[in-house]
Amino acid sequence: MLFSSINFLYYFLPCVLIIYFVTPTKFKNSILLLSSLLFYFYGEPIYIFLMLGAILSAYIHGILIDKYKNYKKIFLISSIILSLGMLGLFKYSDFFITNLNNIFQSKIGLLNLTMPIGISFYTFQILSYVYDVYKGKVKVQKNIIKLATYVALFPQLIAGPIVRYSDIEKELSNRKHTFEKISLGIRRFIIGISKKVLIANQLGELCQVFLQTDEKSIVFYWIYAISFSLQIYFDFSAYSDMAIGLGKIFGFEFLENFNYPYISKSITEFWRRWHISLGTWFKDYVYIPLGGNRVGKIKLIRNILIVWMLTGLWHGANWTFILWGLLFGILLIIEKLFLLKKLEKTPKIIQHIYVLFIVMISFIIFNSNNIEEAIKQTIGLFGANEESIINNYTIYYLKSYFVIIFIGIIGATPLLKNLINKLKQKDKTRKIINIFEPITLIALLLFVTAYLVDSSYNPFLYFRF
């Protein structure tokens, strides 16, 4: 069940909210847990048992680590093996079998297992919980309902952000519900679903047109590259907005996951602003345990490459994802060694162009089915595929989607947010904004509803994760 669906928006969510808020406080976690299990069961009836098994494993290992401290490392390793083993089986088994067959000319049969939705997200949440118990950063959770609620919490279950147990540990036991918090949550959710449905989906349609047509041109390659970069940002950040908004409604404070990454002046800054929860997860649970930057230059390079190869692999079982991750790893190494200092001396516009170009190329690789396709689409930007500079087909779709591309470019910057904040500083304009903001949000929700009723195109980019 997608957040951006009629079933969720007008059936599931209202029912859950009514039941949740009429339920006594001591039973609210139970209602959230049951709702989350129903939410997951709707999309993955069989794999709900897999998630329940993962939760039970986390619960048992956490208790064993806390109780038998002399053997806690053994239990930590056991938990890691089980969690990563499960993730590897369902997400990477066919990838490794295919590569083994290619290398050794063998004929090992593929398992053809369907990947459980959201398995990467809840596996990482479980790993962080068990590791933090091991390090003594959090207390073991002996109430399995609370732990299960943390892992299965439907607002962030299938699309993130990756929520640490330490971030919501207190809120699982004692959280406050206020009208202000609920209204902020509703506002954030509507903004998120509007970004997803009214911008990301529209850009996604344009990207599909490009991928399916034989009438490509150099300009169309650039339109596709820009459109997909915008689509993936609005899609990913929209789901984070919706998750954060739903979290507020239910009394939780999830950390921000995106912070206008396209205004960055370096790749290092970009990754401080893009998918923040994933970046900090790898930093805290892989990069720092490997030694971080407190090691020699050779080991530092090794650590960065390991982290970014794993970051790429986390996104999917394909060489394009590994290449995508290693590309960023290499660029971050280069920046750390010398490029950052040189970039600081160049005009800001050059810094922005450098980041946007690299990120655009990286997302071409990210969205390609294989390396050959990634190369073809990249060199197509420079006319190497011998297409014309522009054709009537390109002009037609440029005219059709120009407005939404322009809105996407403006929306990917903090310009509108800064303007509204500036206007709110004056009494007269603040009153006008306070009047028109709820009207605008209602209008956006109506537009979203109309689109969802009328359109069948509503892709779920997180499925592969």
Mean pLDDT of 421-434: 88
Q: Which of 244, 241, 283, 278 is nearest to 260 (CA)?
A: 241
Mean pLDDT of 186-203: 96
Query: How is 391-460 classified by DSSP, letter by letter?
Result: -HHHHHHHHHHHHHHHHHHHHTSSHHHHHHHHHTTSHHHHHHHHHHHHHHHHHHHHHHHHHHHH------
> Rounded to an integer, what distance in angstroms lies between the CA atom of residue 357 and that of residue 267?
11
Q: Which of 38, 47, 37 is nearest to 114 (CA)?
A: 47
Amino acid at 162: I
Question: Which residues have C-beta within 8 Å of that of residue 441, sequence separation ≥ 6?
Answer: 186, 187, 190, 191
**Residue 426: band (very low, low, confident or very high) from pLDDT cuts 50, 70, 90:** confident
> Rounded to an integer, what distance in angstroms lies between the CA atom of residue 273 and that of residue 40?
29
pLDDT digits (tens, 9 = 90+) for 313-341: 999 999 999 999 999 999 999 999 999 99
Amino acid at 310: L
* Element at 242 (helix H, strand E): helix 218-249
> Rounded to an integer, what distance in angstroms lies between the CA atom of residue 42 and that of residue 27?
23
pLDDT digits (tens, 9 = 90+) for 206-265: 999 999 999 999 999 999 999 999 999 999 999 999 999 999 999 999 999 999 999 999
pLDDT digits (tens, 9 = 90+) for 36-79: 999 999 888 999 999 999 999 999 999 999 999 999 999 999 99
- Other beta carbons less than 10 A from residue 21's beta carbon: 13
**pLDDT of the residue at 459:** 72
**pLDDT of the residue at 353:** 96
Question: What are the catalytic residues?
Answer: 315
C-alpha 165, offset from chain centre: 18
**pLDDT of the residue at 462:** 60
Mean pLDDT of 156-180: 90
**pLDDT of the residue at 425:** 87
Mean pLDDT of 138-151: 96
**pLDDT of the residue at 294:** 86
Q: What is the DSSP letter of 389?
A: S
Q: Which of 57, 253, 255, 278 is nearest to 172 (CA)?
A: 253
pLDDT digits (tens, 9 = 90+) for 259-269: 999 999 999 99
**pLDDT of the residue at 267:** 97
> Rounded to an integer, what distance in angstroms lies between the CA atom of residue 193 and that of residue 61?
37
Question: Which residues have C-beta within 8 Å of that of residue 365, sequence separation ≥ 6?
Answer: 320, 323, 324, 327, 374, 378
**Residue 463: band (very low, low, confident or very high) from pLDDT cuts 50, 70, 90:** low
Residue 414: cis peptide before it, omega within 30 degrees of 0: no
